[in-house]
Structure 1
Amino acid sequence: MKKYIFIFLTGLSFSALQAQEIRDALRYSQDNLNGTARYRAMSGAFGALGGDLSSLNVNPAGSAIFLNNQFGVTLNNVSNKNDSDYFGNKTTEKDNNFSINQAGGVFVFNNQRTNSNWKKFSIGVNYENANNFNNSTYSAGTNTANSIDGYFLSYADGVPLQVLEDNSYRNLNNNDQQAYLGYNAYIINPASNDRNETLYNSNVPGGGSFYHQNAERSEGYNGKLSFNAATSYKDKLFIGLNLNSHFTDYRRFSSFYEINDAPLSTDYTITDVRFDNELYTYGSGFSFQLGAIAKVTNELRAGLAYESPTWYRLNDEFTQDLFSTTSSSTGPDRGNPLADPKITNVYDVYKLQTPSKVTGSLAYIFGKSGLISVDYAIKDYSKTKFKPENDAYYTSLNNSMGDLLDNTSELRIGAEYKIKELSLRAGYRYEQSPYKNESTIGDLTGYSGGLGYNFGSTKVDLSYAYAERSTQQGFFTQGFTDGANINNISNNVSLTFLFEL
């Protein structure tokens, strides 16, 4: 006879203990290729070009390149395809979403004094969805070695039994909550009935295989609102500054299911488990950018830009559900797990500092017929920091990021060719993995193309961008770290309307 145990927790629990991970830091440290259709079509290689609303995100001096006031809005459709391979079993998950990705404008003021070397001043405001978090993955397959019991054991070992018996989920920190769930769902047992016991054993039978399913869905955005000012000196040197406001809203839903085919041995032997987790993160941040563009000759331009770290203040809310099935209705009595109502853990506000970025650029202008542009950027992900840094948990996490993450480079190449009012564009993008092992998150390769038509005071641009990247991250971060190899393919179509005054 089987017994079903469902731990379903409601309410609010305020906790000072952190539950952040490296992938949480990377989520806000990496940007997608977003912006106007022209910017996307040329893979974002605008550091020495300017003259585009999204170029301000690479080099803020770019607004001083504009000849006239300009306003623009970009519509965007992105589709993701995630191919998963878990122990040889292949699955595919797709999703598609539409958004207004960019909106902004630049005002240009020409200096009327003929004896001044400062010829132009510009100000701009631009919003962009710096990162679109909408994505879904599904993995399934048979694992012949490891079970989710390792996850709960890794948290339980070292926790006295009396802590799990005398407290409710609500009153425990994050680590002990995981042990509490495993204990009350009968997935793990103490090595003895001594209330000071700190060792635990698995109640999942060995000798068989484990069929796993893991479904994960994320949604939300990371927005960036830039306030820009730039000027030009003798129409040869352009200097600019951005003050950026960042805001994020992110949700991740994951559901892991396990069923084993091992022979049942004792009462309360676990036959299957479903473990659901939901994370909600929201907050805001600030960064600044400095940049310069120089006309080396009439055809050749060089650019250099610095983007500061982004300093975030973030909030996390975390909810868990655990469901297990046992082989017998008899066995040790630990009380009714249903006695605890559902609880959402609300953690203390924490700070995150993302790495800074330096971009060097070159562009060659072929008169009025076209151009080619190259950007090369460096970002050191090992400098990512959770704060306060004197917190023991954050110290350990920051040390791990310093050991695992790397100094990376990014290459962007873009070209444009004009046939009267028609512009043809293409681009290439390569971004190194933020991990030293280059497998947890792989390198990114992207291609793009597009076209634009100039109607005079109105311009319409269309682009298509393709990007591919593989990841190999565990379903859980400790104890049970097996995961699927996932290959993500992103297809992005953007349409921009520009108006000049």
Structure 2
Amino acid sequence: MRFKNILFTSLFVSALNITHAQSVDDALLFSQELNSGTARFKGLGNAKTALGGDISSVTGNPAGLGFFGQSDISITAAYSNTGNKSSYFGTNTTKNKGRFAIDHAGAVFHFPKNEGYHGWQNFNVGFSYENTNNFNNHVRYEGINPNNTIVSAYSDEIAFYGGQDFANDLRNMNLVEQFDRTDGTTDYFPIPYESGNKTQVSNVVTSGFSNKSAIAFGGNYNNKLYIGGTVGLTNFRYEHTVQFSEYGWTKIADHISPDNPNSEFLDPTKEKNKFVDKNYELFDDYYQYTEGSGVDFKIGAIFKPAVDWNIGATITSPTWYTIDDYYDRKIQVDYYEDEQATTSFSSFEKIYPLNPSTYTYRQITPWKFNLGLSKFFSRGFVSADAEFVDYSTTKRRVLNGADPSSEDVWDKEVKDAYQSVVNFRVGGEFLFTNAISGRAGFNYYGNPYKNADNTQYSGSLGLGAKLTNTLYLDLAVVHLVNDYKVSPYTIIDETFWNTTTPTADIKHQRTNVVLTFGAKF
């Protein structure tokens, strides 16, 4: 087979509305923060809403800064290894990717206010920089599809959303032909043989990051009530390279004549006739480069109803992003006389958009609400969090004089695709000695999709060591698992084609090894 070394996407994006469709997918991507904090809190499963005394409190619960009795500074390094196992029509594929980075750095400055036991005890200020998301990933799946072709999806896109220019492009590439519906309208059917075996390969390579710089304050009132606030500035860069490849046979004359007996593909005197019963290789390549920045705010409180209990809560505002999207797409098809041929007898190529440009818009992420509870024992503690996020409330607002009516369409598609979730986190710490502590944690993430399976959870283990009275070292290992299904393209009218959208099962696993070195002063 003549498959080239290709990279491609898990989602079919129509040439008719490529920017709009990709932005709907980005509604979730740029709303999640999955990679924040120091090694101590990561070892605890990031169950930090009711905890303090760690620099992660700057972006976790800023009220936790009120627990500091002295200043603190730390830096966190991490190695991340990502692995993906996929299954598509019975074929299994594995891909791995690794990355080293500085994940977190910060400082807290302690300002005591009262030498007594009543009133305000301190007001502390914290600064931090952290990677909140790691977009580096490589997903590949491939197999033999005997049920349908991506050209069926092209035909559905034309039938449901219009786009005569796209239809003409596909006709000129000899990928579709016209047929008359019973209501007198004209639609298009694929020339590639839907029921023939087609080798399909899909490769998705993403890279980039999301980071946050934040300043926070926290105060301690009477060692009972702790309050705080944070202002965060987020920047991200996201690069997405997508390629899909399909290799099979075009239809013979007997397959074409029932749909269009007058087709030029059936006339030996016409140029199109030479594309009947031929080998073909089709490529659908997509590239996206997105970058943006935004601001958000957070307020938090921790209350101690008893010496051994903490109750914490935070409210996080939306992040108000300004985002720039650059994208392009290419569809290419090569035709061969048979499977043994190494040189195509005809090739076609179409690039979208005709004049690539940058598309700028605003995106507003959902509000987030957290509640936490911590119970302390003589040699450690247990802490648990619950977070509520409604991803269906993500909004987009157009800029640069773009059509404002697209906002309502986009908002509706987001509401149709996403739903609210409750994420759970639990973790604990045990002091083996006065200098060595062990930690463990577990995270469960709710499914943000209304109509798709998505299971995501992570577990963590950690160790902490007090090296001296001022120096400390924390280590954590976090293993995340995300099981989901993905499609290279979508068959919109499954009843008409008598087939279903092809899906691949993906098991995504990411292991982070995190090391924090800090000093108190």
Q: C-alpha distance in 1, partners of 2:275/2:43?
A: 59
- Residue of structure 2 in register with 1:288 after alignment: 297
Q: Which amino acid aligns with 1:268?
A: F
**How far off is 1:44 after superposition?**
0.2
1:429 is aligned, of 419, 432, 443, to: 443
- Residue of structure 2 in register with 1:313 after alignment: 322
**How far off is 1:90 after superposition?**
1.3
Q: C-alpha distance in 1, partners of 2:145/2:115?
A: 75
2:310 is aligned, of 301, 326, 331, to: 301
Q: Which amino acid aligns with 1:466?
A: H
Q: State the secondary structure of the residue aligned to 2:413.
A: helix
2:392 is aligned, of 365, 382, 388, to: 382
8 Å Cα contact 2:192-2:251 kept in structure 1 = no
**How well do the aligned residues superpose, as a CA RMSD in angstroms?**
2.9
Task: Give TM-score, length-normalised by structure 2.
Answer: 0.82
Q: C-alpha distance in 2, partners of 1:98/1:27?
A: 21
**How far off is 1:158 after superposition?**
7.5
8 Å Cα contact 1:289-1:305 kept in structure 2 = yes
Deviates more, 1:106-115 or 1:387-396: 387-396
8 Å Cα contact 2:479-2:512 kept in structure 1 = yes
Task: Give TM-score, length-normalised by structure 1.
Answer: 0.85
Residue 360 (structure 2) pairs with residue 349 (structure 1): yes
Deviates more, 1:180-189 or 1:63-72: 180-189
- Residue of structure 1 in register with 2:414 after alignment: 401
- Residue of structure 1 in register with 2:341 after alignment: none
Q: State the secondary structure of the residue aligned to 1:48.
A: coil
Change (3 A) 1:158 1:450: closer
Residue 425 (structure 2) pairs with residue 416 (structure 1): no
Q: Which amino acid aligns with 2:205?
A: R
* Mapping of residues 7-46 of structure 1, within 5 Å: 18-46=20-48
* Mapping of residues 46-85 of structure 1, within 5 Å: 46-85=48-87
**How far off is 1:182 after superposition?**
3.2
8 Å Cα contact 1:311-1:352 kept in structure 2 = yes
8 Å Cα contact 2:71-2:109 kept in structure 1 = yes
Q: Which amino acid aligns with 1:363?
A: S
Q: C-alpha distance in 1, partners of 2:417/2:186?
A: 31
Change (3 A) 1:211 1:57: same
Change (3 A) 1:355 1:189: same
Runs of 4+ in 1 over 6 A off after TM superposition: 158-161, 338-342
- Residue of structure 1 in register with 2:156 after alignment: 154
Q: C-alpha distance in 1, partners of 2:368/2:79?
A: 28
Q: C-alpha distance in 2, partners of 1:129/1:292?
A: 24
Change (3 A) 1:459 1:181: farther
Give CA-to-partner distance per residue, 1:292-347, whole Å, 9 cap, x none.
0011111111101111111111111112222211257xxxxxx9967979967224
Residue 275 (structure 2) pairs with residue 276 (structure 1): no
**How far off is 1:437 after superposition?**
3.5
Q: C-alpha distance in 1, partners of 2:168/2:78?
A: 45
- Residue of structure 1 in register with 2:507 after alignment: 487
Change (3 A) 1:213 1:424: same
Q: C-alpha distance in 2, partners of 1:218/1:301?
A: 40
- Residue of structure 2 in register with 1:173 after alignment: none
**How far off is 1:130 after superposition?**
0.6
Q: C-alpha distance in 1, partners of 2:79/2:430?
A: 25
8 Å Cα contact 2:178-2:187 kept in structure 1 = yes
| Gapped regions of structure 1 (runs ≥ 5) | 1-14, 165-175, 329-334
Q: C-alpha distance in 2, partners of 1:16/1:205?
A: 26
- Residue of structure 2 in register with 1:370 after alignment: 380
- Residue of structure 1 in register with 2:342 after alignment: none
Q: Which amino acid aligns with 2:243?
A: S
Q: C-alpha distance in 2, partners of 1:476/1:28?
A: 23
* Mapping of residues 90-489 of structure 1, within 5 Å: 90-112=92-114, 114=116, 117-157=119-159, 164=165, 176=166, 179=167, 182-190=170-178, 199-261=187-249, 264-265=252-253, 266-269=273-276, 271-327=280-336, 345-367=356-378, 369-388=379-398, 391-418=404-431, 419-439=433-453, 442-455=454-467, 456-476=469-489, 481-489=501-509
8 Å Cα contact 1:305-1:360 kept in structure 2 = yes
**How far off is 1:153 after superposition?**
2.0
Residue 520 (structure 2) pairs with residue 500 (structure 1): yes
**How far off is 1:224 after superposition?**
1.2
- Residue of structure 2 in register with 1:10 after alignment: none
Change (3 A) 1:414 1:336: closer
Q: Which amino acid aligns with 2:324?
A: N
Q: C-alpha distance in 2, partners of 1:425/1:340?
A: 53
Q: State the secondary structure of the residue aligned to 1:281.
A: strand
Q: C-alpha distance in 1, partners of 2:120/2:207?
A: 46
Q: C-alpha distance in 2, partners of 1:61/1:229?
A: 8
Change (3 A) 1:340 1:40: closer
